[in-house]
Amino acid sequence: MRISIIGCGYVGLVTGGCLAAVGHRVTCMDSDGERVRGLMGGHIPIYEPHLDELVAAARGEGRIEFVGDIRLAVENADAIFICVGTPPLENGEADLSAIEMVARGIATQSRGSKLVIEKSTVPVRTGEQLRRALQVYGRASDARFQVVSNPEFLREGSSVCDFLHPDRIVVGVDEPPAAEKMREIYRPILERNFNCPVHRGACPPSDAPHFVVTSINSSELIKHASNSFLALKISYANQLADLCERLGGDIEEVTRAMGMDPRIGPQFLRAGIGFGGFCFPKDIQAFYRLAERAGVDFMLLKEAERINKERIDHFLEKAKRALWVLKGKQVAVLGLAFKPHTDDTRFAPALEIIRRLLAEGASVHAYDPQAMRKTQALYPAVHYCLDAYESATGADALLLLTEWPEFVELDWKRIHGLMVRPLLLDGRNLLVPAKMRELGFEYHSVGRPD
Ligand code: UGA
């Protein structure tokens, strides 16, 4: 089956790269000419572990190509994955204009039968609109379209592994043959029949993925419902952390024991400065807007969002309590990305914290292993450092804002010696409090006893 991907953002590149890695021939299209030229020259515009090796290998074997013209992506394809962005509008709803534009392009350039797969995160009922747009704009041709919803559950930083070793593949269809075509596309992954570029033949044992066939509306709901539930879990842990701080308890001890109950599960209970990224903050908003329009007041989601926003105020209050005045203070920041193993800073809590520190007159000396290039354009006033040690030199406080594993390995004794005042605020509960205090730090974290 010949596969095309429309949209070479993060989801498109991971989808295209992984489908090529499991043996398909893939054409990736993007309307951004510069991005396409870069990709043709082997430049992957995002940092995502394993993605560059995967794409380079597929290019070497002639299984992936990059084009800028939608006609080239559509004419020979049997299956077309729509992976364009659906950014938030001012009112929180998803902007679907890119999807509509792509639908028009597919409709006018197609001949024969095409499977059109909605991979972008979209509100429920987008499939219906997509089908209508394909029919309306394709009425002059002999093209026939089967629309499928196939949400992605990839996590940035581990998306290649997530794509190749999913727990479930959800396909929303309104005719069974479309589901069979999707099963064909995913067969190497369902049967684990590919050379895994991540584990190189030594994939850890796990259950075979579920292949879940639903209606298109249910499939679209599954995506939003899953992301929102995970966001709820995080906000629950964060609110519990507040309670631990007030009443004397340790959030790590509480969530650890809670997570041992398989009905609760240990994941997404890490308290800290809140969730960021391009998915949870926008998806939770889009989901409650959608519910509102359907006449359902999904207050639970609004609360989760409110609790999340409060994290930053709460953390900065702690910083202020310790520092007294922020104006004129030198603050070291470790971590800019919204989570480790990515260079993505969209809706990153670290950036909002930096914005407020600068507004209050502090000077910020920041370091992140991957995300500095993307932050520089947004925050030119920040002093970007070569490493954590440079950022700590002369600092009145150090704020740890992304839990990169390499931060655990830093020589903290050396950092202590470099700082003017050894005040450490750990927004991700990454470090061991007793160890930091033993080194002489005044150490504060989230929901753990000070
Ligand atoms: C999220 C979902 O986990 C994916 O399943 C989904 O496919 C993706 O959104 C998407 O819709 O594209 P992602 O945003 O890449 O993935 O990252 P997560 O690992 O979910 O983390 C999101 C945010 O929550 C990060 O800021 C992270 O630091 C925060 N988080 C996560 C916590 O604060 N506590 C936790 O316990 C877990």
- Quote the pLDDT of residue 197: 87
Pocket flag, ligand 1, residue 269 (CB < 6 Å): yes
Strands 2-6, 25-29: pairing kind = parallel
pTM value? 0.94
| Cβ–Cβ < 8 Å for 351, 345 | yes
pLDDT at residue 66 greater than cutoff 80:
yes
Helix (H) or strand (E) holding 414: helix 412-418
d(Cα 259, Cα 403) in Å, to the nearest integer?
20
Ligand 1 centroid–CA 17 distance in Å is: 21
d(Cα 243, Cα 240) in Å, to the nearest integer?
5
Catalytic option among 18, 161, 244, 279? 279
Ligand 1 atom closest to the CA of 156, numbered from 1: 15
Nearest CA to ligand 1 atom 6: 153
pLDDT at residue 1 greater than cutoff 90:
no
d(Cα 430, Cα 408) in Å, to the nearest integer?
7
Active site residue 196: no
360 falls in which pLDDT band (50, 70, 90)?
very high
Nearest CA to ligand 1 atom 34: 270
For residue 77, give every residue at least 6 positions away whose Cβ sits within 8 Å of its Cβ, in sequence order, or none: 2, 3, 4, 27, 114
To test the ligand 1 pocket, which listed residue (223, 279, 351, 352) has its Cβ within 8 A of the most ligand atoms?
279
Q: What share of the chain is helix, strand, coil (3-state, %, to 5)?
A: 45, 15, 40
d(Cα 220, Cα 124) in Å, to the nearest integer?
5
Average of per-residue pLDDT values in the chain: 96
Query: Within 13 Å of residue 312, how many CA atoms lie on the same side as its CB?
Result: 17
d(Cα 276, Cα 282) in Å, to the nearest integer?
9
- Quote the pLDDT of residue 141: 85
Report phi then psi at 408, rounded to 5: -65, -35
- Quote the pLDDT of residue 152: 96
Compute, in degrees rounded to 10, the torsion defined by CA atoms 306, 310, 311, 313: 160
Ligand 1 centroid–CA 140 distance in Å is: 43
pLDDT in tens, 250-297: 999 999 999 999 999 999 999 999 999 999 999 999 999 999 999 999
Pocket flag, ligand 1, residue 314 (CB < 6 Å): no
Say if residue 91 is exposed, middle or buried (CB neighbours under 10 Å; 0-12, 13-18, 19+): exposed
Nearest CA to ligand 1 atom 30: 275
